[in-house]
A and B are shown apart, each in its own frame.
Chain A
Amino acid sequence: MIKRTSIIFLVLFLCLSTKAFPDAGISDDYLIRFELPFGIGSNQTVLGKGSYVNALFSVESFVHKKEDIKVDIILPEGLKAIAPQEVIADSGEIQAEFTLRTENDIWYRLVQLYVQPDTLEGKYDISYQLTFGGKVYKKTVSCWIASQDYIKESIHLLRFSVPADKEGNPDLKRQENTFVIKEANSRLLNSFNIKKSAHDAELIAVELENTGKFPVTLSLDYVIYDKNTGRPIEWLANLRDEQGFDVPGIYTQIFLKPNQKDVTMLRIASQDISMMQGDYKQKLSIGVFAAEGAFITEERPLRVEELNTTIALSAILSVVISLLGIVGMLVFRSALFGGLTSREYILIGLYAAIAFSLVSIPTTIIYNIFHALLGPFSFLVTGIFSEMIFYLLLISLIVLLPRRGVILCFIFAKFLLGAVILGKITALSIIWYPMRAVMLEAALFISGLYEKDFLPLDVSGHRKKTRIPKSKMLWVAFVFGITDAFLAFISLNITMFFYRLFYAGWYIWAYVLISGFLYTFIVVPMGIHLGQRLKKVAVD
């Protein structure tokens, strides 16, 4: 009973002996065919004991002649015809009469057959007789009968390669059971322009072997599951319907002759930007095609890695610029620092001390408190010190000493004070500070604060009591704002890269816009005013 039940849902196939396949069938004028589901082409798959199967019987004409034809099909012991009733003479015999008129005219009927469970495995003959125009022709075709248990024992999963290369071999250049996906940002950009490309998909190769006597068609199902909930993930898409819309699920069929090995490939793709890196489970199920139940399942962990190119590139960019900055500083130190007088060195040192006292120390204290309270949104408060007061000091210093090298000195001095007094040396700061210095020097150059006529003098060489045009102020504020926004973006990315942290895209943009651009933009004009007032003192 159990055995019968276990194979009762099997949809199976009829195997025809190749010998029975005619070079011309029963006669040169008419051809009989037996076809079973998924026996397309060679028509060679096996029939299972205790199963029901629809067989397509057809007679095709190859003459242009109206002919009345009668066909008698005698089924072997163990094979019974169930439906349709109009063609069944008795359970072991199928009869039909019809007329064919011309070449390629076909008569066909789907007949439901039942294979009795106690039938012995083996090869059986189906004989048929065609009567037309007073002539009678007889012929036999073969079919094979086997149990699902036998099929199960005959099919072996030799290899399940994840990922695979285009030839179906395991891709040794890649880590096993790992997919690599593009980062979310580029997926978002590309979601409107997805092209068929090998790089957009991962490949899986499955190698199967049929060691049995019978050919068989198998179905392969592949699913990726959420490790915790056990639910299939939604973003997996392989099939596309006729209109190009994604149909979830990945499956394919493979046909194996006796003693044949074959490799089939599955392509795993997704166009959904919600896909995520992480740990999943993957499961491959293999069963007889169109039958319920898989008799081979292979489950494994799957890791999906996201290729964070933005973060990696930011880190590389930062390292490169910092290195260039340091090298440049050493190579051009006489040009950079040679022009500074001792008074200017001292002033920069004092400024660095002020920056340390009023920026670094409060930031350190407040950062820890507000980070604990507000979490990642602490930048809204700490930005007041680390951005606003810092730029207030920096800009006023530049107005006082508008020349190259001042920013470099100031930033390095401040960093070293933090390193010496608080021990604040991290890999991030080592990479970050030189880059910051270089970028701010560049911003200074672009903004034009170097220019002699930025703060106009009268004919005698004294300062005019004129207001600096708003447009110039806004321009400087804009340049520094953009530069700081860029620096904020890079700093967050390299933090994410080195400390393996996650931040949402919207958070990054909020951080860049507020802490990076807005705070700086607001405070730069104030710094210029402050610097101007200080210049009075400096001159006096």
Chain B
Amino acid sequence: MKSMALFSPRQKIVLILISAFYAISTDNPHLMGGYFIFMVALFLTAGVDSRKKRVWLAAVVLTLWGTIFSQSLFYAKMPRTILFSLINKDTPFVGAFTGGLNFYKEGIEYGFIQAMRFGITLTCGLLVCFTTESKDILRAAIRLKLPYSLSFMVSIGLRFIPLIVAETKTVVSAQRMRGFSPMRSGLIKPIKTARTVLLPILVNSIRRSSMLSLSVESRHFGRKQAFYLPREKKENIFINTALFCLGLLIITMGIIKAFYFLYLSSFFYLPELRIIYSLAEKYI
């Protein structure tokens, strides 16, 4: 059974939101790691084809590595052990300006832990993306009271993205035939070329908009704003409950963290909340 088949599109959106806030609310590596593994398990049991799995894997690995890379350079906590230096702090000018650029061992560990936050949101996002049609997501968003005008614009965008991508490919091919090579042209030339590429696409879009507006207005668009939404199947109550509990957990963790932060920075302290401070310090 595919795991994500249990989720309705609306539930999937809620899952993304919960994952997004979960990723930032905890500092406990075990809690983060546990949720990441849960996401990975969901992904692997979602019935996604191997090509998409490879895309996911590449994205996760690259993201993890990128975060580890940056944090190992900029790690600013003690203790820290220099593995090797990129720029020595005694180097004239650059060394003094930057204070030295070194790879820190503790930064690698730290980067790995923090990268799990990105891993969670990336995995969840790709999971929903690969297992749901865009229009279903849009419908779910509308059901979640997304404003009509935004929904309309998004649906237009959804509809014409393939066309725009095809047009772009055509124009870029045409530019390449004229000798344009973005990698060897510096900064300003690609931008100017981008402008040249954009111009026909944008012109087409403007013309398209005129045509489409005539079309929709002739269908009484603008008088009464309503979307026709097909009936959705009944949502799994177990999933709903689980999501609700998870959401509540996130909110609670957020509140506890806020109080703990205020306590740590001496802004606000209440003796009655000491159990919460202890909880935050040990588990969250």
Contacts and interface: CB of A to CB of B under 8 A. Distances in A.
Asked if A and B form a direct contact in the complex, defined as CB atoms under 8 angstroms apart, the reply is: yes
Interface of A: 172-175, 178, 180, 226-229, 233, 276-280, 304-305, 307, 312, 330, 333, 337, 340-354, 356-358, 368-369, 371-372, 375-376, 378, 384, 388-389, 392-393, 396, 400, 409, 412-413, 416-417, 419-428, 430, 498-504, 506-507, 522-523, 526, 529-530, 533-534, 537-538
Interface string B70-114: 110111111111000000000000000111000000010010001
Given A229-B79, A356-B161, A358-B168, A384 B62 contact: no
A180 B267 CA distance: 12
A13 to B, nearest CB: 40
Contacts of A396: 198, 202
B-side interface mostly: helix
Nearest to B187: A384
B78 A498 contact: no
A530 B66 contact: no
A430 B221 CA distance: 30
B121 interface: yes
A498 B24 contact: yes
Given A173-B266, A343-B210, A416-B154, A423 B217 contact: no
A522 B192 CA distance: 11
Given A384-B190, A425-B125, A352 B213 contact: no
A278 B79 contact: yes
Report, nearest first, the 4 A-B pairs whose CB atoms are least far apart: A278-B78, A423-B125, A371-B66, A349-B156
B21 interface: yes
B65 interface: yes
Given A376-B74, A506-B98, A500 B69 contact: no
A228 B79 contact: yes
Given A345-B156, A353-B161, A388-B194, 17 more contacts: A278-B79, A312-B261, A340-B149, A354-B205, A368-B59, A368-B66, A371-B66, A375-B66, A393-B202, A409-B153, A416-B141, A417-B157, A420-B141, A423-B16, A425-B13, A427-B23, A523-B191
A349 B125 contact: no
Interface of B: 13, 16-17, 20-21, 23-24, 27, 58-59, 62-63, 65-67, 69-71, 73-81, 97-99, 107, 110, 114, 117-118, 121, 124-129, 134, 137-138, 141, 146-147, 149-150, 152-158, 160-161, 164-165, 168, 187-188, 190-192, 194-195, 198-199, 201-203, 205-210, 212-213, 216-217, 221-222, 261, 263-266, 269, 271, 277, 281
Contact of B98 (A353, A424, A504): A504
Contact of B164 (A175, A353, A371): A353
B120 to A, nearest CB: 9
A503 B194 CA distance: 32
B79 to A, nearest CB: 4
A529 B199 CA distance: 11
Nearest to A412: B150
Nearest to B156: A349
Chain B CB count within 10 A is highest, among A330, A343, A344, for A343
Given A346-B213, A420-B158, A278 B77 contact: yes
17 contacts: A172-B269, A173-B266, A180-B264, A278-B79, A305-B265, A346-B156, A350-B156, A371-B62, A371-B69, A388-B194, A400-B206, A424-B125, A426-B121, A430-B17, A499-B118, A501-B74, A534-B203
Nearest to A500: B114
A458 to B, nearest CB: 23
B76 A276 contact: yes
Given A357-B165, A368-B59, A345 B153 contact: yes
Contacts of B17: 425, 430
A341 B269 CA distance: 54
A361 to B, nearest CB: 8
A393 B107 CA distance: 38
A392 B198 contact: yes
B149 A409 contact: yes
Contacts of B125: 422-426
Contact of A388 (B127, B191, B212): B191
Contacts of B80: 278
B139 to A, nearest CB: 10
A494 to B, nearest CB: 10
Contacts of A413: 150, 153-154, 157
Given A276-B78, A353-B161, A409 B20 contact: no
Contact of B194 (A277, A353, A389, A500): A389
A83 B191 CA distance: 91
Given A349-B152, A499-B117, A420 B73 contact: no
Nearest to B64: A372
Contacts of B161: 353, 356-357, 417, 421
B76 to A, nearest CB: 5
Contacts of A417: 154, 157-158, 161
Contacts of B71: 501-502
Nearest to B132: A423
A423 B205 contact: no
B263 A427 contact: no
Given A226-B79, A345-B153, A420-B137, A180 B265 contact: yes
A428 B25 CA distance: 12
Contacts of A304: 78
Chain B CB count within 10 A is highest, among A172, A342, A371, for A342
Nearest to A494: B24
Contacts of A400: 206
